[in-house]
Structure 1
Amino acid sequence: MLEEEYQKRRVLPRHLRKQTEPERPFSYEIRPATLEDIPDIREIYNYYVRNSVVTFDEKAWSHKRWREKFEHLQKLGLPFLVAVAPTGQVLGYALVSPWASKSAYRYTVENSVYLGQAATGKGLGRALLEALIEASEQIGLRQLVAVISDKGAEASIALHEKLGFEEVGRMGKVGYKFDRWLGTIYLQKQLNPRKKPGILKRMLGAGASEE
């Protein structure tokens, strides 16, 4: 049998060939987080706790702890966003927390952005951070601070710098995780608030001290 005849016979008729399903486009919706999102949020965060140094937490967070954090941020009126797939699965989240407890710091917050492993490298981190910046400006916040590990978080640093964050300081060997010393890099972005400072007065009575 000639080689070309053999190759022809190897090709199955079209109706017998296995049809490959086309790859679905990556799509999501960014919206405020709800209590129902906590299990997915917890799973995303705990992956980084157990497998990376981008967070200095060493113990996984419980559902109760995440619920308490969610309720605290709700009480303060601070943004807590999730990116959700059409199936309802949480792909990533972004939030801001008070930078410090003393009341004079009430217009400055620290941001956190985490993505599920299947959602990395697709531009979702930027979309979440942009939405978080917008939400922070809408409620009158003035300064956004990112505290990032100096090991293993190069992509996060680059993303923050692309969106206008500037490095303002470093601390060396302040954390110890996975048998290695870690430092922190501080980046800061000045916001353009859309509302007057009075919008955040409620934060004083919701956990910020007046020492």
Structure 2
Amino acid sequence: MTLSLHSPLPVLVRDATEADMAQVQAIYTFYVTRSAASFEEVPPNVDEMIRRYATTLERGMPYLVAEDQGEVVGYTYAGPWRPRSAYRYTVEDSIYVAPFVQRRGVGRALLGGLVERCTELGYRRMIAVIGDSANQSSIALHRAMGFRQEGVLRGVGLKFGRWVDVVMMHRALGDDSRPLPDGCTAPPFPDIEG
């Protein structure tokens, strides 16, 4: 029996470890070098990916990977949306899926896990900043997971010799009728811009 290329891939979504960062770096390198999904132009090395991973954990934020038969096939994490303290209950997601498993449910499993974890931590909103309005897979994934498109910033990036858009999407986390986050477990981010 031959599996369709679009058959769901049963993956294990789990907390990332430092040992996963070499595989994470390989996935990210694909997007940096071959797409406008990331506006980075030079792929970071494994040491830099470990530093970014550690920063995410230091902030108390989730960093998840999807694993298939011992191989990392995608990853996602949350970071602060903006540094000023009034934004401390809003996060931004980042998600990347290995190109050979796209359209197999890996992104949905990862983003679903991230949304659940951030909701449990008490965050109220999640923002998606999607590189390239032609990135219909990411836009469709976010829409399927309850994100609403809020706008398009036209031609704000220059990559591969062309001007690239950014698509802004967002969704609520949990019930909007929740009281103000008195005692919320979400850590405040420092107001670094004073």
Same fold by TM-score greater than 0.5: yes
- Take 1:185 and 1:151, find their aligned partners in 2: how far apart are those partners? 6
SS of equivalent residue, structure 1 residue 100: coil
In structure 1, list runs of 5 or more residues that go unmatched.
1-20
Determine the structure 2 residue equivalent to 1:9.
Answer: none
- The runs of at least 4 aligned residues of structure 1 exceeding 6 Å deviation read none
Q: TM-score with structure 1 length normalisation?
A: 0.81
How has the CA–CA distance of structure 1 residues 117 and 150 changed in structure 2, closer, same or farther, with 3 Å as cutoff? closer
Determine the structure 1 residue equivalent to 2:185.
Answer: 199
Q: Does residue 1:55 correspond to 2:41, yes or no?
A: no
Determine the structure 1 residue equivalent to 2:144.
Answer: 162
Structure 1 residue 126 displacement after superposition: 0.8
- Take 2:102 and 2:32, find their aligned partners in 1: how far apart are those partners? 17
Which residue identity is paired with 1:38?
A: M
- Take 2:21 and 2:112, find their aligned partners in 1: how far apart are those partners? 22
Question: 5 Å matches for 1:34-183?
Answer: 34-86=17-69, 88-183=70-165
Residues matched between the structures, number? 186
Structure 1 residue 208 displacement after superposition: 4.8
Structure 1 residue 210 displacement after superposition: 6.7
1:94·1:113 contact (CA, 8 Å) conserved in 2?
A: yes
Q: Deviations over 1:177-198 (max 9, x none)?
A: 0010011110010111799453
Structure 1 residue 42 displacement after superposition: 0.3
1:83·1:128 contact (CA, 8 Å) conserved in 2?
A: yes
- Take 1:127 and 1:192, find their aligned partners in 2: how far apart are those partners? 18
1:176·1:182 contact (CA, 8 Å) conserved in 2?
A: yes
Identical residues among aligned pairs (%): 34
- Take 2:152 and 2:146, find their aligned partners in 1: how far apart are those partners? 18
Which residue identity is paired with 2:71?
A: Q
Structure (1/2) with the larger helix percentage: 1
Determine the structure 2 residue equivalent to 1:11.
Answer: none
How has the CA–CA distance of structure 1 residues 151 and 22 changed in structure 2, closer, same or farther, with 3 Å as cutoff? closer
RMSD of the TM alignment (CA)?
2.1
Which residue identity is paired with 1:67?
A: I
How has the CA–CA distance of structure 1 residues 72 and 101 changed in structure 2, closer, same or farther, with 3 Å as cutoff? same
Structure 1 residue 209 displacement after superposition: 2.6
SS of equivalent residue, structure 1 residue 199: coil
- Take 1:110 and 1:59, find their aligned partners in 2: how far apart are those partners? 22
1:53·1:151 contact (CA, 8 Å) conserved in 2?
A: no
1:103·1:210 contact (CA, 8 Å) conserved in 2?
A: no
